[in-house]
Amino acid sequence: DVKVTQSSRYLVKRTGEKVFLECVQDMDHENMFWYRQDPGLGLRLIYFSYDVKMKEKGDIPEGYSVSREKKERFSLILESASTNQTSMYLCASSLQGLGGTNEKLFFGSGTQLSVL
């Protein structure tokens, strides 16, 4: 079974802190994604990556950056955390399918981040 592991289940940070959320997958997937989940808004894509050292902005990249130095690891960085970044963060990975399809996402269990 594919396993996507997020380093922390719960995280509490202060406004202005630099925050690192780590994600590791063990199935050699090319694609990795970071989503945030908020009640009533569903899942919104922050950043994604189709290859090592490659990154693309999703729908809500402001206030975030990412790093993919190794194929199995995709990090989400909050340069200066703010209270409106309090959310559930979900990492996902998928194989690169035909025509760039990547619908079969495998998700981690999520990191609930609270910024005080």
Contacting residues for 84 by C-beta, under 8 A, at least 6 apart: none
Residue 47 Cβ vs other proteins, minimum distance, rounded to whole Å: 12
**Cβ closer to other proteins: 42 or 84?**
42
User: Rule CB under 8 A: is residue 64 a binding residue for other proteins?
Assistant: no
Residues in the chain: 116
DSSP character at residue 27: S
Give the whole-angstrom CA distance, residue 114 versus residue 30. 30
State the DSSP code for 30. Answer: S
Q: Which amino acid is at 108?
A: G
Q: Which x/- pattern over 10-39 shows residues binding other proteins (rule: CB under 8 A)?
A: -------------------------x----
C-beta closer to other proteins: residue 64 or 107:
107
Binding stretches for other proteins (CB under 8 A): 4, 35, 40-45, 48, 50, 58-59, 90, 92, 97, 99-105, 107-110
